[in-house]
Structure 1
Amino acid sequence: MKILFLCLITGPLLLLSQLVRAQAIEPEEEKHYANPSVEGMPRGRGVVIGYERLPQFDIDSRSDNPTIGNGTGRVRRNNKWDMRLMAPVLNKPRTKLLVGVTYNVEEFNFENVEPSSYSLYRYLEDRDLKSLGLQVAFLRSIDEERFYLIRAKGELNGDYTQKDINITDYLKTTVDLAYGWKKSPYFSWGVGAQLGYTFGRRRVYPGVLYNRTFNDKWGVESIFPANFRVRRNISEKTILYGGYRLEGASYNMYVNITPLSQFQDIELRRTDIKALLRLEQEIYDFLWFSIEGGFRQYYRNRIYDVIGSRDELINNDLAGAGYIGVELYLVPPRRFSQK
């Protein structure tokens, strides 16, 4: 439900008055239709390029399958690259339709990976786990107080290359639904659900939207339990956040090394919890950057013997680690948001 940061957009209604005389058309008082955003929230991001790194953490793997066995190792670094594009294709006072494209790459680098090393580590070493996604988001304002949101997303998640890609082998779909109330320009809330992979396996997860600005300095932005952030508006050009975020992923992998190759297609599912501190800074009007750091704890990281299976093949215990990430992104120019 990442598009719940949409900026408030208003539109005038026209009123026909005194048909008997000149039939003059005069603007009615401007009407503010409901949406999730509140005063003090930053402008929505259209293009994002990001990078994140987790250095130096231990991994301990256990399997009940005797041919796989157990293993221990140390990850030198876990890198993630993130690119996103969101663009409006319909932008009316009561109706918004956005289309977005995402591309993420994650890789693991291990210490001392040799031919005799644990098979999972050998397979993951320097291997790109990719996610290429297309999403459509629809926001409808029912009136000045109520709104609803629908988002559908399809992703190709896994270790594919351009030569061997088969869409049906890697496709993952997510659907978000939300219904909310805009109580004032400073407070909106709602309820919803996601059919997705936040906790690794595809399930329905409930959520509560809560966006509130208390004064010109402090506010809260949250979709509980997925994330919660306290916002500090230092200035119009500088925003500080503190809070947490849940992240989940599911990658389909087709292995070609023994003994994992006996299963051919396996699935990696992971869920992480991040405690974070984030600074967002304007460079020039429509160009911003952010730096984020904190502690990332792996809640669950497991390998399954068949894609979509409930039978666990390997249970990975990954030590918590600090992380740092940076982003460069574009937002609508300030003059557009002030209209």
Structure 2
Amino acid sequence: MVLDKKMKHIYWLLFLAVLASPQWAIAQDEDDEEDWSMYEELELVDDSNVKRYAKPTIVGLSPTRFLSVSWDMQMPYDMSLSAARFPASQGTGWGVDESAPISETGTVNFTGGFRFNSSIPIISKSNIVWQSGLNYMRVGYNISDIQADGNASGLASILNETGLNNLNWTNTFYVPMTEENFFIFQGLLDMSGNYGFSLQPFNTIRWSLAAVYGKRVNERKRWGLGLARTYRVGNLNYVPVVMYDVTSADRKWGTEILFPARAHGRYNFNKNSLLLFGYELEGQSYRIDEFSFGNNSFEIRRGELRPRLEFQKQIPGPFWAHFQAGYRIDWTFNADELSGSREFFRGFFGTQDFGMINSLGNAAYFNVGISFVTF
């Protein structure tokens, strides 16, 4: 076969390329030893002195929500309210052991509304993680069949018209000390009440604080102990904190516990879906403008216990959807009048009078939402 000039040029180019390749050169020069003396001045990296820190999570936990929007809704229940007594802060209210007569009743057809939560990393290093977020929760009411006597405060009508709002700023700091030990600090500022576009006075903003010492035992277990100043059940309280997160060896079962605020068991169907089962305490102290005279602040201590199931599933991209179904149990809906808007601690043994003594019927509730997450 006679090759034309074009084909001959192609074969020569291929032949020269093979000769020039490193693999071919090595094969042809097997007797040439490499000069290792050029590496004598280099030292192997010694990482024995590198400080390691406890990681902020363990395997198997439900994903961390950076941004989340949801809708919360409670089924119908009955509401019973006492008369309001002023000034309760001077011992003219309802005594803590007193059975206050009912002055106002109503049927609450709907309770709930829009919720927004955020937790944005500000600093994310091996030796400190700082996350900050603004949160909003709307508790709207639709109340019918309001029955009131001459002593009624009119609170049912106020709630029906304005509802309750909570604006919250949360900062969380994760500070590891060693490869196992760490601290978690969290501070919260809450503005809660029936305010609208005109915000409430600065001195009625309530603050909470928590500090936890923890130990990351291994990649599947961590625990912690601490103390919190909290409004989780409406009233100001000081409570011990117990954290216990664990994942089984097969990564199917686990716990996510931050007692007493919340405690859940967990079942991971797969890496894209899981089920939480347990409870959460929810609440805050809400200022009612219409009853806050002078420099005093009249506040509803809303607190509720929520046993629940929550199913979480990944949808396209870094987004997860969640669906909660549970039972809302009324913990407290009583009210206090705070002299000079200054908070006080009643605890289990305080004798400060209540401004109102109220009760809500228990109800089933649902919450559905979508979140931008990370693991």
- 1:176 shift after superposition: 1.0
Q: How does 1:185-334 map to 2 (within 5 A)?
A: 185-214=219-248, 215-255=250-290, 265-306=297-338, 307=341, 308=343, 310-332=352-374
Q: Using the alignment, how far apart are the partners of 2:264 and 2:162 within structure 1? A: 33
Q: Distance in 2 between matches of 1:94 and 1:265?
A: 42
- 1:72 paired residue number: 105
1:46 aligned residue: 66
Tell me: CA distance 1:51–1:25, structure 2 relative to 1, closer, same or farther (3 Å).
farther
In the superposition, the TM-score normalised over structure 2's length comes to 0.76
Match of 1:151 in 2: 186
Deviation at residue 37 of structure 1 after TM alignment = 2.4
Cα distance in 2 for residues equivalent to 1:241 and 1:261? 44
Partner SS state of residue 143, structure 1 = coil
- Shift of the 172–262 alpha-carbon distance from structure 1 to 2, 3 Å rule, reads closer
Does residue 59 (structure 1) correspond to residue 79 (structure 2)? The answer is yes
Aligned equivalent of 2:197, options 143, 157, 162: 162
User: Could you list the runs of 5+ residues in structure 1 that have no partner in the other structure?
Assistant: 1-19
**Cα gap change, 1:179/1:164 in structure 2, threshold over 3 Å: closer, same or farther?**
closer
Distance between the aligned counterparts of 1:95 and 1:311, measured in 2? 44
When Rg is computed on C-alpha atoms for both structures, the one with the higher figure is: 2
* Comparing 120-129 and 24-33, the one that deviates more: 24-33
Q: Which amino acid aligns with 1:210?
A: Y
Q: 1:71 to 1:115 in 2, by over 3 A?
A: closer
**Is the Cα contact below 8 Å between 1:255 and 1:264 reproduced in 2?**
no
Higher helix residue share:
2
Q: 1:232 to 1:267 in 2, by over 3 A?
A: same
Contact 2:245–2:257 (CA under 8 A) maintained in structure 1? yes
**Residues 318 and 250 (structure 1 numbering): CA distance in 2 closer, same or farther, change over 3 Å?**
same
Identity of aligned residues (%): 22
Aligned residue in 2 for 1:91: 124
Name the aligned partner's letter for residue 233 of structure 1.
N
Q: Which residue of the partner structure matches residue 9 of structure 1?
A: none
Q: 1:22 aligns with which of 29, 38, 41?
A: 41
Q: How many residues align?
A: 310
TM-score, with length taken from structure 1: 0.83
Structure that is richer in strand per residue: 1
Q: Which residue of 1 aligns with 2:5?
A: none
* Alpha carbons 1:287, 1:329 under 8 Å: kept: yes
